Amino acid sequence: MTASSPTASPSPSPSPSPSPSPSPSPTRGASSGIRGAGTAGPHGNLPRTALAAFAPLVWGTTYVVTTELLPQGHPLFAGLLRALPAGLIALAITRTLPRGAWWGKAAVLGVLNIGLLFPLLFVAAERLPGGVAATVAAAQPLMVAVLAVTVPHESPSAWRLTWGVIGVGGVGLVVIGPDAAFDAIGIAAGLAGAASMALGLTLTKRWGRPAEAGPTAFAGWQLTAGGVFLVPVTFLVEGAPPAIDAPAALGYLWLGLVGGLIAYVFWFRGIATLPVASVAVLVLLSPLVAALLGAVLLGQTLGPIQLLGFGLALAAIAATQLPSPTRSRDRVPPPAPEGPTPR
């Protein structure tokens, strides 16, 4: 965008200057959010990566908040309070509603990223040990690596896929204990939840964000859509809401304000400005934070195997934020030809 001075007036030039050749203008898609995504170097992406990582770091506190502060047996109600009030607050702040096709797109993204994800994770958590459920959910970056072929300007990367596998293995070492049990329905629900979030993340990247909606409005659309979807599911499955005491109110406030509104604003901003596979692998931070809080606050122990898993998962997260070595070599310009330049 060029600015022109109101006082400047054209003056004749003593000699005509050659007309500048037209420079290619960037393609304008349906969204301003996807332009230039992933084009900066690793140092340029670091602040945006840190902001995006805030979301899974906060989501990692959900387990300890739920078990220590919230009424037991009402995880869907917690998900509802995490989504719907935060979405309505975002809409009230921004006063921006979807337009045209974005009503449908926002509904689809809200159900995939929030509304459908919570019940599936609830089934997985009910039927699987926490460590197994967390490891199944950690398969989401691998699904994103496959789905990323549908995102413009992002091709499959063996580098990120390999490190994604290593990251899932690291999470497994951290959270799966020797007495882990496996249940077919729980495994299916966990994989379906991971697939729902992976598809939602990929479509969010593919569709971008409309120019009239900032990150807060965009998060508000999806949180509201996901919360509306959860209303009938919650009351059909759990019935009447529980009594809320002071600790529960504090827990719901944390989940809704910090884990809902603020976290999702940063998360969707990260999706818009970073490669989709780099954002997806940040989800591995959630089970790591949950395990760390369990050790610090609940007296759970972390042995050598768990620490090794921590190291592998963190290495995978760091490696996927860097460009693939193969692509880095491909970007090196060829050497200049030797000898005199032919006329």
Query: Sign (positive/negative) of CA torsion 180, 182, 186, 187?
Result: positive
Least trusted range by pLDDT, from 5-19, 70-84, 200-214, 237-251 = 5-19
pLDDT average, residue stretch 248-255: 92
At position 335, the amino acid (one-letter code) is P
> Is pLDDT above 90 for 32?
no
DSSP 282: G
DSSP-based three-state secondary structure for 11: coil
Looking at residue 157, its pLDDT comes to 66
Q: Residue 23: which pLDDT band, with cuts at 50, 70 and 90?
A: very low
pLDDT average, residue stretch 209-223: 92
Inter-residue contact 265 to 215 (CB < 8 Å): yes
112 vs 199: CA distance, rounded Å:
7
pLDDT average, residue stretch 291-295: 80
30 vs 324: CA distance, rounded Å:
28
| List of long-range contacts for 241-249, beta carbons under 8 Å, 24+ apart | 241/74, 241/77, 242/71, 242/73, 242/74, 242/77, 243/71, 244/71, 247/68, 247/69, 248/69, 248/70, 248/71
Q: Where are the alpha helices (DSSP H) in 148-214?
A: 158-175, 184-207
Q: Residue 322: which pLDDT band, with cuts at 50, 70 and 90?
A: confident
Looking at residue 104, its pLDDT comes to 95
Least trusted range by pLDDT, from 16-30, 133-147, 281-295 = 16-30
Terminus-to-terminus CA distance in the chain, angstroms? 39
Looking at residue 40, its pLDDT comes to 46
75, containing H or E segment: helix 75-94
Of 92-106, 122-136, 287-301, which has the strongest mean pLDDT?
Answer: 92-106
Burial degree of 235 (CB within 10 A; 0-12, 13-18, 19+): middle
- Tokens at 257, concatenated: 């304000």
Quote the mean pLDDT of the chain: 77
User: How do the domains of the chain map onto residue ranges?
Assistant: 61-323
pLDDT tens per residue across span 36-95: 344 444 455 788 888 899 988 988 888 788 878 888 888 889 889 999 999 999 999 999
Query: Sign (positive/negative) of CA torsion 317, 318, 323, 328?
Result: negative
pLDDT average, residue stretch 302-330: 76
130 compared with 228, residue with greater pLDDT: 228
Looking at residue 140, its pLDDT comes to 78
pLDDT average, residue stretch 304-332: 74
Of 72-76, 227-231, 324-328, which has the strongest mean pLDDT?
Answer: 227-231
253, containing H or E segment: helix 246-253
Looking at residue 173, its pLDDT comes to 80
> Is pLDDT above 90 for 324?
no
Q: Could you tell me what percent of the chain has a pLDDT over 70?
A: 73
Helix 285-297 with 130-137: angle, nearest 10 deg: 160
φ and ψ at 309, to 5 degrees?
-60, -40
- Tokens at 104, concatenated: 């449908």
